[in-house]
Amino acid sequence: MLQFFRKNDPYLLLFIAAFLIITRVILLIIGLEESTILNSSYLLGTAFNENPGTVISNSISAGPLYTFFSGLLVLLFNSSVVASVIVSAILVFIQAVIFNTTLQRNAAFEDNTYLPGILYAIILSSSKEFLYLSPALMANTFLLLATDKILIHLKFRGSEENILTTGFLLGLGALCYAPYSIFLIFTILIYVVYSGTLVRRYFLMTYGFIFSFLIFWIYYLCFQQGAAFIGNYFSGLFRINVVDGTVLNNILLIFGLPLFLTVLSGAQSFQGAGLTNHQILIQRMMLWMLIFALVILRLDNQMTLLTVQTLAIPLTFFSSQFLLTRAKRWVADLVFLFLATSSITFLFTL
């Protein structure tokens, strides 16, 4: 079965799109219950439309860019469940394409395959909560774009424009989902450890990050809310949340197999045998991303299933690596089938 997905065939993108559409249409026909994220997004959007110059506090760690987009959705579609599900599906598809293209461009695996994109779509279809637009999902788009820029820099020692754009993209991600501010530290760490980046370029990247915030600060400053914007954003940024046992159990249930595959893949491949230097760098970068994603679990205002959407990126990478490096292809086929079946089962049952 995986031989089909190993092909570098653009038509496999249609498979990803069809999978996302079919699962969501079925659930819409069956009927989706009102969710916390949908209600919270509606309240955010409504509050923004009623008072566009007022800084809005929220419990889902949503940044001002997500609040603005929620306001746009409420303005156009009111509290439509369908709109949130459609936008979410489009974002997952776009992210799967960006991630897969980035890995192909950097020759992350020996096989030039669309498997990572397919796995990304499957992993982010493992729960009904993932079907709705959320701050973390929206922020993942900018994180994946920044990841592409980071890998370009690691491979080619990218230009200053690349560095500035990376910081700006990280800032946009943080403006969607506040805990993503920590990925500025992640990027600086990657550059310090794995590249000979000039010191002034760290300041340039930080400037790009801050510049994205300046846009919103100036907007709120026009309404005399500049100080309130800065204070509201950073006041709860590093507040450690309380762990909910039920949520933690659901996280382990849904992400248990990808986490297990990640551990196996890491244990077998981090020796670097048969890998190029750039492939080893990609592995180490994804490991650091996994560590920072785990830290984010405790930085969100409240830990929910939506908080772990950040994990989808490194888990997809290592799960793909595990499947693509199996000498016995029937083993990879069985694991893939089990992963896909369990994800769809969780989607319709949890």
Q: Measure the CA angle with vertex 306, ends 62 and 252; round to 5°.
A: 150
> What single string gives the DSSP state of each residue in 235-260?
HTTTPPPPPPHHHHHHHHHHHHHHHH
- Can you name the residues that pair with 177 across neighbouring β-strands? 62
185 Cβ partners below 8 Å, 6+ apart? 292
**Predicted local confidence at residue 253, as pLDDT:** 87
Q: How many CB atoms lie within 10 A of CB 30?
A: 8
**Predicted local confidence at residue 21, as pLDDT:** 77
Q: 177 φ, ψ to 5°?
A: -140, 110
CB 38 within 8 A of CB 132: yes
Q: Give me the residue spans of the domains in the chain.
A: 2-349
Instruction: Enumerate the H helices of the chain as residue ranges.
Output: 2-6, 12-30, 36-50, 64-77, 81-105, 115-123, 135-156, 160-176, 182-194, 199-221, 226-235, 245-269, 277-299, 312-324, 329-349
User: Cα 170 to chain center, whole Å?
Assistant: 12
**Which among 29, 69, 32 has a CA at the least distance from the CA of 49?**
69
The total number of residues written for the chain in this structure: 350
Q: Over the chain (350 residues), what is each successive 10-residue block's mean pLDDT?
A: 57 72 77 78 90 84 91 87 88 92 87 86 89 93 95 82 92 93 93 84 91 92 87 75 75 88 78 74 92 86 82 93 83 86 84
Q: 87 φ, ψ to 5°?
A: -60, -40
**Predicted local confidence at residue 241, as pLDDT:** 67
**Predicted local confidence at residue 265, as pLDDT:** 83
Q: How many CB atoms lie within 10 A of CB 53?
A: 12
**Predicted local confidence at residue 230, as pLDDT:** 86
**Predicted local confidence at residue 280, as pLDDT:** 86
**Predicted local confidence at residue 158, as pLDDT:** 66
Question: Using the 8-state DSSP alphabet, how is residue 328 labeled?
Answer: S
Tokens of 137: 């999902």
Tokens of 148: 């592409």
Task: Classify the phi-psi angles of 272: left when phi > 0, otherwise alpha if psi is within -120 to 50, otherwise beta.
Answer: left
CB 313 within 8 A of CB 100: no
User: Cα 68 to chain center, whole Å?
Assistant: 19
Q: How many CB atoms lie within 10 A of CB 278?
A: 14
**Predicted local confidence at residue 272, as pLDDT:** 57
User: Cα 216 to chain center, whole Å?
Assistant: 22
**Predicted local confidence at residue 5, as pLDDT:** 56
